Amino acid sequence: MKTVYLGMRGDIIHPGIINIIKEAEKHGEVLVGLLTDKAIAAHKRLPFLTYEQRKSVIEQIKGVSRVVPQEDWSYVPNLRRYKPDAIIHGDNWKSGTLQKERENVFAVMKELGGEVIEIPYTAGVDSAVLHEARRAIGTTPDVRLKTLRRLIELKPITRILEAHSGLSGLIIENLEIQAEEGTRSFDGIWSSSLTDSTSKGKPDIEAVDLTTRLQDLTNILECTTKPIIFDGDTGGKTEHFVFTVRTLERNGVSAVIIEDKTGLKKNSLFGTAVTQELCPIPEFCEKISAGKRAQVTKDFMIIARLESLIAGFPVQDALSRAAAYVEAGADGVMIHSKEKSGADIKEFCATFRAGHPHVAIILVPTTYNQFTERELSDWGANIVIYANHLLRASYPAMLRAASSILEHSRSLEADSICMPIKEILELIPEGV
Ligand code: SPV
Ligand code: MG
């Protein structure tokens, strides 16, 4: 019996997939190469269902003989490995981004003495459109919450950007660019205390109460599906923090980061003097442990933020605190610094990683922003947070428009730097 290879994501089962399986069956036993979560995450959004869930569905489809993992976005490594007699694919790959892959597949099948079967793409079914529709339907708090841990496990580095409103959240949700590895987009959202309070014209001193922060977060939750990391400032009193954890979890937030400062909280990037006292280690550990005991799901993450370097203490202080916080239950550590060279952060990452191979490291490279994500990942970072850039980009743009109106006593000249009204209406269609 001949073998026919069919590669797929298998996250949405639609008539096109059934058609291609039926067609494949005519040529031999159908061997499905199911893309692993990691292979998908490197190129596209994470699938809604995990590999195991997708596998259990695909295996039950009539005509499928066997399901094997396809660990690479390209079919080629699996074709070499399983040496099927044929591969089947919709003819939609004759144009667009899959063209190069088609050429590679033809070459490899020729080498193996096999065949490439191309069948007309099923009219009216477009996987990309279906995946877009899935996104439009939204998510559930449960699925959103779990996504951060999945991303940390699957991606070399998880890319997070700050949102302070529904509109900025939509940019993070929707923006995609074409890059060398395929589609590049943001993986999730940082709910920043700095940009949330600044957008309200208030200082970043825990002046915006948690209830208000959560109400603002609701605007973001309602129009996005990507995971959210919540900036919990100091976490407040332990007795209050346990409620914060529950509330965030209930809303589908993936993680909270709390910082080991004490007294009136000031933004870490504020001023040059050492302005902040650090929380005694046992007290902060107790807060972390109480939070961990309070959480209901196993997926929610409590991340300890180390302010040692900001407060003028050496890397060693941050390292001993980090070890204690992990012991207390922290699922990750965020190490913060204002040092432009990044040397202190790099040193921290190297030593911490050696002792804790599996604890997530989160970096916020606002000052040491000369390093690329790949470099930060090589240091050992799992998550990079761009903590304030959408707010910082919007303010000069607003100032320019306002100044132009003042200068010209009319808005005509400002039009060229403003989004057309038509586009803004299309951005958020009625009834959505
Ligand atoms: C925030 O975004 O509010 C933060 C990160 O806490 S930072 O501003 O760098 O302290
Ligand atoms: Mg903050």
- Give yes or no on whether 3-128 and 138-387 have one common fold: no
Which two structure tokens, joined as six digits, stand for 314? 């050496």
Classified by CATH at the fold level, domain 138-387 comes out as TIM Barrel (3.20.20)
Tell me which of 133 and 287 has the higher pLDDT. Answer: 287
Six-digit token string for 123: 């009219």
Nearest-ligand number for the alpha carbon of 366: 1
**What architecture does CATH give domain 3-128?**
3-Layer(aba) Sandwich (3.40)
Q: Ligand 1 pocket: which of 231, 336, 384 to mutate (most atoms <8 Å of CB)?
A: 231
User: Any idea which residue has 């010209």 for tokens?
Assistant: 408
Distance CA 381, CA 378 (A): 7
Q: What pLDDT score was predicted for residue 432?
A: 46
Q: How many CB atoms lie within 10 A of CB 411?
A: 11
Atom 2 (ligand 1): residue with closest C-alpha?
192
Q: Which atom of ligand 1 is nearest to the CA of 267?
A: 10
Known catalytic membership, residue 216: no
Arithmetic mean of pLDDT, 217-246: 95
pLDDT tens figures, 278-293: 999 999 999 999 999 9
Q: Is the pLDDT of residue 160 over 90?
A: yes
Pocket lining: 192 vs ligand 1, CB cutoff 6 Å: yes
Measured CA to CA, the distance from residue 361 to residue 37 in angstroms comes to: 21
Q: What are the residue ranges spanned by the domains of the chain? A: 3-128, 138-387, 396-427
**Catalytic residue (choose from 204, 216, 260, 331):** 204
The mean pLDDT of 65-89, rounded to a whole number, is 97
- Percent share of the chain, pLDDT over 70: 94
Separation of alpha carbons 170 and 167, rounded Å: 5
- Helix ranges (H only) for 113-233 are 127-137, 141-154, 166-174, 193-199, 210-223
Closest-CA residue to 139 (of 54, 57, 228, 232):
228
231 CB near ligand 1 (under 6 Å): yes
The mean predicted confidence, pLDDT, of the chain is 92
Q: Is the pLDDT of residue 117 over 50?
A: yes
pTM of the model: 0.87
Instruction: Give the residue from 118, 151, 197 showing the smallest Cα distance to 388.
Output: 197
Query: What is the 204 CA–ligand 1 centroid distance (Å)?
Result: 9
Ligand 1 atom with the shortest distance to the CA of 364: 9
Q: Where are the beta strands (DSSP E) in 301-395?
A: 301-306, 332-335, 360-363, 383-386
Q: Token match 């204002």: residue?
A: 338
Closest by CA position to 336, among listed 408, 259, 232: 259
Over residues 325-379, the pLDDT tens digits come to 999 999 999 999 999 999 999 999 999 999 999 999 999 999 999 999 999 999 9
Distance CA 217, CA 292 (A): 22
Ligand 1: atom nearest CA of 194 is 3
pLDDT of residue 272: 58
Pick the residue whose CA is nearest to atom 5 on ligand 1. 387
pLDDT of residue 140: 87
CA-based radius of gyration for the chain: 25
